[in-house]
A and B are shown apart, each in its own frame.
Chain A
Amino acid sequence: MKLDVKQEPKSETEFMTGADLFIQTLVDEQVDTIFGYPGGAVLPIYDAVYRSKAAFKHVLSRHEQGSIHAAEGYARVTGRPGVVIATSGPGATNLITGITDAMMDSLPLVIFTGQVASGVIGTDAFQEADVLGITTPITKYNYQVKTIEELPRVVKEAFHIASTGRPGPVVVDIPKNISAEVTAGSYPNTFSLPGYQPNVNPNPLQITKLAEALSHAKKPLILAGAGVLFSKASAELKEFAEKYELPVANTLLGLGSFPGSHPQMLGMAGMHGTYAANMALYECDVLLNIGARFDDRLTGNLQHFAPHAKVAHIDIDPAEIGKNIPTAIPVVADAKAALQALLTKDIKTDHEDWQKGLQHNKLTFPLWYDRSDELLSPQWLIDQIHKISEGDAIITTDVGQHQMWTAQYYSFDKPNKWVTSGGLGTMGFGFPAAIGAQLGAPDELVVAVVGDGGFQMTLQELSVLKEQQLPVKVIIVNNQALGMVRQWQESFYEERYSESLFIENPDFVKLAESYGIKGIRIEKETDAPEMLEEVFSYNGPVVVDCRVVQKECVYPMIAPGKGLHEMIGVKR
């Protein structure tokens, strides 16, 4: 029944609200996709979305967390800011995990939250939350729009801050009275941020010092992080490493910045990194970190981290340099600019023995796993996916064992194909991130590798997959467990499996089907190649329930508190 609520008659033509103005600013920023969810405080904005006749695509999630992780996946793959709209109060608070995730992993997001009307802010009004207060520690910057006049400027600034320097999330809180306000105006959007001037070009003196240090090095090593990806410097990195025969290790988030199959590539370093990469970090005498932040999952016990090395660090964020590791040669710069400067230098290379030793480690201590004759071996499964997709898919993951196996076994040869939650380790990230990635890269194959645990945190987004007709392949690495927790309990808590084994899981095939999506279950290795072929040649979304061995552990491993050279599980 439709209630007869009296409405002011409006002329169809010529009225503009703050929300229309807001939409115009998004169009000016060339936004093509918005991830959002409506509610009371953003009704004026959604009305403007409706009336804007789709200058962009709006993707309606089924939970605001789905929106923001999708925006993260979009940003990671396209390099452009992901845009999110949510309502005030619960809409905004549902974004908190994703905002924190984007902050930790330096992803450019611009998030618009509705707010109660200016006049009632501070009165605990219906669906009021102190969004500025809550998001201050988890954003690069945040705003509350005070007047309609400043709206265009604030939006422009927000996009600028989110996407330049070290990228990060920016929140713009818009009170409802401002988005509803009728205006005839167009207002200036010029801004000045005297306190925000990211330094892009390296200091030539530091580059000279770095070149000298590398010339004297007997055991040089490059550690390449996500900074290389953000600055689109993969080609420069490859040229530099090849020119001076420098071995390369990657951080988890840096995968893809240097070809996984390259002979100079030692693989991923850190807690579940390769023996070759971790021992190289332990033994090197000059360590060049490009765009990584020496996270503790990478370094292990700091006392044993690169103990013999002179450390050089290229980073656009000066605060990361020297934060965890004393740094002899700091280079505050964009990775691409720094590598270009380094490429003009004459660097002597005299480290043949070192290279031989590293190759020896690579060959002698490769990653290993056991095959299984019952269920699938999870590492083998990732290997198969790599084969079938020819190593060329965009891969998103959730968090847990399956994430580490994917990082280990899906060798990335190209940049910006790897989407994972590193710093925050957010379960529930992987599947919605794949939705955003597919929207950002419609012509590419997108595969979400998720755990049976994490998938259940955001699987409501299956509706979006169906609604938006996105051909994402969802691979559930189903071990009937919170596998990573189970592994730590096995290793460090004498197999007391406290709350980590699932007694009940849904029938994921039927679940997918109930959303109108094709579901498949794979239980045996002998069936797998053919069934996966079917999955990957299917023109549409598929959810694949892959039943894998529960007791598998991720190896090798640096146990907590241990050093790089104290890995366990290096050999079978």
Chain B
Amino acid sequence: MKRIITATVQDRSGVLNRITGMLHKRQFNIDSISVGKSETEGISKMTFVIEVSDHQNLEQLTKQLNKQIDVIKVSDITDKAIVARELALIKVGSNGHQRAEIQGIISPFRASVIDVSKESMTIQVTGKPDKVEALIELLHPYGIKELTKTGVTAFLRGHQPKTVTDLHATPL
């Protein structure tokens, strides 16, 4: 199962290396990691999307993260009300008359064209990973020349509902 885990960490040199090294050594499959400064000076926020095999494996993951000296707080927010976003840049092949067609495809995704050349155009899309995936899927027939993603970054919504049953259905 895929889990979204966030970690608040002290911004010390080598912290990313230490954490990814631990994940690698303990054979956790990392889908994505995103790291950035937080609202507090000296504190960074990491967001991991990690595949775990079962509950025990998940428990090990959070415990091993917590064990790191630089890690202040670990939360598995998968089942919470969260906002989770990633950004993708997609360069697709396109000649003149395909452009309008592609515009038509991307507009429901609220994606935008940020660069155009004779044979290609570059699209930027932000959103939940499944939305980003869906757009990439639709653009495939035009030939994807280049693709890059930031990985998911996420946090809890301001308001957490009392029951979380509805949220389980769409974890991302």
Q: Does A39 contact B (CB under 8 A)?
A: no
Determine whether the beta carbon of B18 is less than 8 Å from that of A194: no
Per a CB cutoff under 8 Å, which of B14, B56, B66, B71 touches A136? Answer: B14
Across the interface, name the chain B residue whose C-beta is closest to A332. Answer: B63
Q: Does B9 contact A (CB under 8 A)?
A: yes
Determine whether the beta carbon of A194 is less than 8 Å from that of B72: yes
Q: Does A340 contact B (CB under 8 A)?
A: no
Q: Does B25 contact A (CB under 8 A)?
A: yes
Residues of A within 8 A of B (CB): 132-133, 136-137, 140-142, 144, 146, 161, 193-196, 317-319, 322-323, 326
Cα-based distance from A317 to B45 in the complex (angstroms)? 24
Cα-based distance from A136 to B9 in the complex (angstroms)? 17
Per a CB cutoff under 8 Å, which of B18, B60, B69, B70 touches A319? Answer: B60
18 contacts between A and B (CB under 8 A): A136-B17, A136-B21, A142-B14, A144-B13, A193-B10, A193-B69, A194-B10, A194-B72, A195-B68, A195-B70, A195-B72, A196-B69, A319-B60, A319-B64, A319-B66, A319-B67, A322-B59, A323-B60
Residues of A close to B9: CB separation below 8 A: 195
Residue from A133, A194, A319, A323 whose CB has the most chain B CB atoms within 10 Å: A319
B39-63 residues at the A interface, CB under 8 angstroms: 56, 59-60, 63
Interface contacts beyond A141-B69, A142-B14, A318-B63: sample of 14 additional A-B pairs, CB < 8 Å, sorted by A: A136-B18, A136-B21, A137-B21, A137-B25, A144-B13, A144-B14, A193-B69, A195-B9, A195-B69, A318-B67, A319-B64, A319-B66, A322-B59, A326-B56
Residues of A close to B18: CB separation below 8 A: 136
Cα-based distance from A354 to B63 in the complex (angstroms)? 36
B 9-34 binary contact with A (CB < 8 Å = 1; else 0):
11001100110011001000000000
- Chain B: minimal CB distance from A164 (Å): 11
- Chain A: minimal CB distance from B163 (Å): 26
Cα-based distance from A319 to B59 in the complex (angstroms)? 9
Residues of A close to B17: CB separation below 8 A: 133, 136
Residues of B close to A322: CB separation below 8 A: 56, 59-60
Residues of B close to A146: CB separation below 8 A: 13
Residues of A close to B14: CB separation below 8 A: 132, 136, 142, 144
Across the interface, name the chain B residue whose C-beta is closest to A320. Answer: B63
Residues of A close to B60: CB separation below 8 A: 319, 322-323
Residues of B close to A323: CB separation below 8 A: 60
Residues of B close to A193: CB separation below 8 A: 10, 69
Cα-based distance from A144 to B63 in the complex (angstroms)? 26
Determine whether the beta carbon of B67 is less than 8 Å from that of A161: no
Across the interface, name the chain A residue whose C-beta is closest to B15. Answer: A195
Cα-based distance from A146 to B12 in the complex (angstroms)? 12
- Chain A: minimal CB distance from B89 (Å): 30
Across the interface, name the chain A residue whose C-beta is closest to B7. Answer: A195
Residues of B close to A318: CB separation below 8 A: 63, 66-67
B65-86 residues at the A interface, CB under 8 angstroms: 66-72
Residues of A close to B56: CB separation below 8 A: 322, 326
Residues of B close to A195: CB separation below 8 A: 9-10, 68-72
Residues of B close to A194: CB separation below 8 A: 10, 72
Across the interface, name the chain B residue whose C-beta is closest to A139. Answer: B18
Cα-based distance from A133 to B66 in the complex (angstroms)? 21
Residues of B close to A133: CB separation below 8 A: 17
Known contacts A194-B10, A322-B60, A161 near B21 by CB under 8 Å: no
Determine whether the beta carbon of A317 is less than 8 Å from that of B67: yes
Residues of B close to A317: CB separation below 8 A: 67
Cα-based distance from A161 to B9 in the complex (angstroms)? 17
- Chain A: minimal CB distance from B120 (Å): 37
Per a CB cutoff under 8 Å, which of A137, A144, A161 touches B69? Answer: A161
- Chain B: minimal CB distance from A110 (Å): 14
Cα-based distance from A309 to B69 in the complex (angstroms)? 34
- Chain A: minimal CB distance from B69 (Å): 5
Cα-based distance from A371 to B69 in the complex (angstroms)? 53
The 6 A-B residue pairs with the shortest CB-CB distance, nearest first, are A319-B63, A195-B72, A196-B69, A319-B67, A141-B69, A195-B71
Per a CB cutoff under 8 Å, which of A132, A137, A144, A161 touches B22? Answer: A137
Residues of A close to B63: CB separation below 8 A: 318-319
Residues of B close to A326: CB separation below 8 A: 56
Cα-based distance from A255 to B98 in the complex (angstroms)? 76
Residues of B close to A144: CB separation below 8 A: 13-14
Residues of B close to A142: CB separation below 8 A: 14
Cα-based distance from A133 to B14 in the complex (angstroms)? 8
Cα-based distance from A322 to B54 in the complex (angstroms)? 13
- Chain B: minimal CB distance from A443 (Å): 37
Residues of A close to B59: CB separation below 8 A: 322
Residues of B close to A140: CB separation below 8 A: 69
Residue from A132, A146, A326 whose CB has the most chain B CB atoms within 10 Å: A132
Across the interface, name the chain A residue whose C-beta is closest to B12. Answer: A143
Cα-based distance from A193 to B67 in the complex (angstroms)? 12
Cα-based distance from A132 to B18 in the complex (angstroms)? 10
Across the interface, name the chain A residue whose C-beta is closest to B43. Answer: A194
Cα-based distance from A332 to B161 in the complex (angstroms)? 31
Across the interface, name the chain A residue whose C-beta is closest to B74. Answer: A195
Cα-based distance from A492 to B115 in the complex (angstroms)? 66
Cα-based distance from A142 to B13 in the complex (angstroms)? 10
Cα-based distance from A322 to B62 in the complex (angstroms)? 12
Across the interface, name the chain B residue whose C-beta is closest to A194. Answer: B72
Across the interface, name the chain B residue whose C-beta is closest to A146. Answer: B13
Cα-based distance from A230 to B70 in the complex (angstroms)? 24
Residue from B21, B68, B69 whose CB has the most chain A CB atoms within 10 Å: B69
Cα-based distance from A319 to B74 in the complex (angstroms)? 13
Residues of A close to B72: CB separation below 8 A: 194-195
Residues of A close to B69: CB separation below 8 A: 140-141, 161, 193, 195-196
